[in-house]
Structure 1
Amino acid sequence: MTQPDPQTLARECADAMFSRDHASRNLGMEIVAIGPGTATLTMTVDDRMIQGHGMCHGGYMFTLADSAFAFACNTYDLATVAAGCSIEYMASARKGDQLTARAIERARGRRTGVYDIEITNQDGRTVALFRGKSHQVQGSVRDTGDPQE
C-alpha cells in the first residue's frame, strides 16, 4: 500500500486527531489550514473563557496554541506529544475576539521537533507567542490506539 502525498497525509492525520479531540472541539476550535509541519486553528472567545479582569483567561489562549502545535507536529502519521512549551502574552483578548493560531515547524529531527505558534486576533494583532518542543512516541496518528512511549 502506497503512502499518500504529504498534503493528503497531513489532512488525514488532522481529521483523525480532530475526531478524537474533545477538548479542542468543545472549545469551538476549527482547523482552517493544515500541511506538513503546519497548522492554523481558530477559536472565538466566549463567556466561559473570561476571567476576573474581563479578559480571556490565558489558559484558553495557551490551549489554542497547544492544539495548533499538536496538529502541526502530528502531520507525518508519527504519534508525537509535547515535551515542553512556553508562552508569552503580548496583548489581551476579549469576548467575541476571533483568535487564530498559526503553527510552523522550525526544526524536526528523528524524534524531536521545535514549533513556533503565533496567536493573532481578528485585527491581525499578535496576542501571544508560543514555542513547543515535540517528542515522537510509538504509534500512528491515524490509528485509534493510544500512543506508547
Structure 2
Amino acid sequence: MGTSRIDALFERDRACRGAGITLDEVTGGRAVARMRVTEEMANAHGIGHGGYVFLLADAAFSYACNSYGPVALAQGAQVTFLAPAQIGDELVAEAVERSRAGRQGVYDVTVRTAKGAVVAEFRGQSTQVAGVPHSG
C-alpha cells in the first residue's frame, strides 16, 4: 500500500473498514481504493446507495491528499453520479491530484466498476491543517 504512516492511518479508519474498503495504492498525490457493493448498501431502488459511492471516492481522495505527510482534511467535495452501482459490483476509485498550492489541493476521483464502466466523478478540495497529528 504505502508508508507505515499511511498503513497506520488506514488501520484507524473505521468507516473504510466498516464498508469493506481496501487501499490498493498510495503514492504522492494519488490513491486507489476499492469496495464491493453489498446488499446492505442498497437504496430503496435496489441499487448501490450514492452515499457509499461517495464514501469510496472520499476515501481515495483522503489518502491521496494525505500522502505527503501533513494532515490534510476535506474543505469541500462534490460528486456527479453517472451510472448506478449494482449489488455485487466491485468499485474502484482512483484519486489524482490536479493542483496543490500552499496548504490547498484539488483532487479528481473517478469511480469505475471493475469492468471499467464509470459510475461517478468526484472533485475534492483539501486543506492542510497545522498542528494536528496523524496519530489518534
State the TM bucket, normalised to the shorter chain. Answer: over 0.9
Residue in structure 2 matching 1:50, options 26, 42, 62: 42
| Seq. identity, % | 42
Matched, 1:129 2:121: yes
- For 1:131, the aligned partner's letter is R
Find the aligned partners of 1:91 and 1:128 in 2 and give their Cα distance. Answer: 7
Residue in structure 1 matching 2:21, options 29, 46, 54: 29
Shift of 1:84: 0.3
Instruction: Specify every segment of 5 or more residues in structure 1 that has no aligned partner in the other structure, as ranges.
Output: 1-7
Shift of 1:48: 1.0
Deviations 1:67-94 (A, max 9, x none): 0000000011100000100000000011
Structure 1 counterpart of 2:135? 144
Deviates more, 1:13-22 or 1:39-48: 13-22
Shift of 1:118: 0.1
TM-score w.r.t. the length of structure 2 is 0.95
TM-score w.r.t. the length of structure 1 is 0.87
Find the aligned partners of 1:112 and 1:13 in 2 and give their Cα distance. Answer: 21
Residue in structure 1 matching 2:75, options 71, 83, 90: 83
**Structure with max Cα Rg:** 1
Q: CA RMSD in A?
A: 1.5
Shift of 1:16: 1.8
Find the aligned partners of 2:28 and 2:104 in 1 and give their Cα distance. Answer: 15
Greater share of residues in strand: 2
Shift of 1:33: 1.0
Instruction: Specify every segment of 5 or more residues in structure 2 that has no aligned partner in the other structure, as ranges.
Output: none
